[in-house]
């Protein structure tokens, strides 16, 4: 379902303000890599051809450089060998931003290039704004930057040359917008940071204040929020049941819904011992399902003292007991 972050107002279209440079000559490529070595923070994005996950063909690399307010567009199909990028990406002194970084890491890995000191803005958004309906770049830009980002070119043919002006604009925007998204998320993270000098009374004061402010903010909507959360879960479960029972998948004005059969596997200990004996004893452990065990002890009326006789102490954890004072 489409939801405006500013109800009643149209979001402005996301657009880039940085300059960009298309690079397909080896000499200019090497010079651009040297320029990027001067950057302390960069954003990386890639465009590929091929629909099968794991077998994509890298066609274009985009790197945003904030100091220069510039996006470098490296034509991988023309350059062939992009190994000089390893010096840029595989350097712990430089922060490398990417949205869903595992995709970029996979593409560069095929060219023997490692990404180091990576900050994934998708993971950052998931941690700092768990309330977002989606953590795609489009969704994060919509709800955190209040801009609408077109992704029409995402599925276009990136192996065809020359690229259209629309494709080039899209590619350069992704790298620039990732920088801007990171800046917003970093501001949230900085605001959340705790003073390491706080002692226990100061931490309790801050915790009490935070709980009080949260209560004040939500007290008038708590019942409605609980109702909506429960209804959302019930509707989602009902939708899943209908689709499993054979209802037609939905695609329309309210979004998309379908059920896919996903293969689930578990590692077979006997097969590991047979096929991989060199690691079998390192990974195969005898284990008891403690939750099930305790339930059966209670169900069958077994003396609780017997639990100690079949238990081993493997360590201790520090469990916090916390009760905050009532709010004014």
Asked if 92 and 117 count as a contact pair (C-beta separation under 8 A), the reply is yes
Asked if 176 and 44 count as a contact pair (C-beta separation under 8 A), the reply is no
Phi and psi angles of residue 143, each rounded to the nearest 5 degrees, phi first: -95, -20
Higher pLDDT pick, 320 / 232: 232
Q: Per residue in 95-135, pLDDT tens? A: 999 999 999 999 999 999 999 999 999 999 999 999 999 99
Tokens, residue 110: 């095929």
Supply angle C-alpha 81, 82, 87, rounded to 5: 135
Q: Per residue in 48-94, pLDDT tens? A: 998 766 678 999 999 999 999 999 999 999 999 999 999 999 999 99
Q: Per residue in 119-178, pLDDT tens? A: 999 999 999 999 999 999 999 999 999 999 987 777 789 999 999 999 999 999 999 999
Angle between helices 121-128 and 165-192 (to 10 degrees): 40
Q: Per residue in 234-285, pLDDT tens? A: 999 999 999 999 999 999 989 889 998 888 888 888 998 999 888 888 888 8
Tokens, residue 168: 């080039």
Q: What is the model's pLDDT at position 284?
A: 86
Categorize the per-residue pLDDT at 7 as very low, low, confident or very high, splitting at 50, 70 and 90.
very low
DSSP 32-91: HHHHHTT-SEEEEEEEEE-SSTT--EEEEEEEEETTTTEEEEEEHHHH---TTHHHHHS-
**Average pLDDT of span 27-41:** 98
Residues 6 or more apart in contact with residue 211 via CB below 8 angstroms: 324, 327
Asked if 26 and 183 count as a contact pair (C-beta separation under 8 A), the reply is no
Beta bridge partners of 297: none
Q: What is the model's pLDDT at position 124?
A: 98
pLDDT reading at 187 higher than 60: yes
pLDDT reading at 9 higher than 60: no
Give the Cα separation of 52 and 300 in Å (integer). 53
Angle between helices 137-144 and 121-128 (to 10 degrees): 50
**Average pLDDT of span 11-33:** 95
User: According to CATH, what is the number of the domain 12-192?
Assistant: 3.30.420.10
Categorize the per-residue pLDDT at 321 as very low, low, confident or very high, splitting at 50, 70 and 90.
confident
Cis peptide before 162 (omega within 30 of 0): yes
3 state SS for 242-292: HHHCCCCCEEECCEEECCCCCCCCCCCHHHHHHHCHHHHHHHCCCCCCHHH
Residues 6 or more apart in contact with residue 310 via CB below 8 angstroms: none
Other residues' Cβ atoms within 10 Å of the Cβ of residue 106: 15
pLDDT reading at 2 higher than 70: no
With 0-12 CB in 10 A as exposed, 13-18 as middle and 19+ as buried, what is 28? middle
The full set of domain ranges for the chain reads 12-192, 200-257, 269-309
pLDDT reading at 8 higher than 50: no
């Amino acid at each position: 379902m489409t939801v405006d972050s500013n109800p009643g107002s149209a979001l402005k279209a996301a657009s880039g303000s940085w300059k960009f440079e298309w690079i397909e000559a080896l000499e200019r490529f090497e010079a651009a890599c040297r320029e990027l070595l001067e950057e302390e923070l960069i954003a990386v994005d890639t465009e590929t051809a091929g629909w099968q996950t794991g077998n994509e063909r890298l066609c274009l690399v985009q790197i945003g450089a904030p100091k220069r307010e510039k996006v470098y567009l490296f034509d991988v199909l023309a350059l062939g060998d992009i190994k000089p990028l390893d010096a840029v990406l595989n350097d712990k002194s430089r922060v490398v931003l990417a949205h869903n970084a595992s995709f970029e890491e996979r593409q560069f890995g095929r060219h023997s290039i490692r990404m180091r000191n990576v900050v994934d803005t998708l993971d950052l958004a998931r941690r700092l704004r768990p309330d977002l309906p989606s953590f795609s770049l489009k969704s994060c830009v919509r709800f955190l930057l209040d801009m609408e980002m077109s992704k029409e070119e995402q599925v276009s043919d990136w192996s065809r040359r020359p690229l259209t002006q629309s494709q080039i604009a899209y590619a350069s925007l992704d790298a620039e917008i990732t920088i801007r998204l990171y800046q917003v998320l970093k501001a949230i993270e900085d605001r959340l940071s705790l003073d390491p000098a706080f002692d226990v009374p100061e931490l309790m004061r801050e915790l009490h204040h935070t709980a009080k402010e949260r209560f004040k903010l939500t007290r008038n909507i708590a019942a409605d929020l609980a109702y909506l959360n429960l209804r959302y879960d019930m509707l989602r479960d009902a939708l899943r049941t209908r689709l499993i029972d054979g209802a037609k998948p939905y695609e329309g004005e309210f979004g998309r819904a379908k059920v896919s059969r996903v293969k689930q596997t578990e590692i077979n200990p006997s097969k590991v011992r047979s096929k991989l004996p060199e690691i079998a004893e390192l990974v195969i452990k005898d284990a008891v399902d403690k939750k099930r065990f305790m339930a059966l002890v209670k169900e069958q009326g077994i003396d609780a003292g017997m639990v100690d006789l079949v238990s081993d102490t493997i360590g201790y954890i520090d469990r916090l007991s916390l009760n905050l004072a009532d709010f004014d």
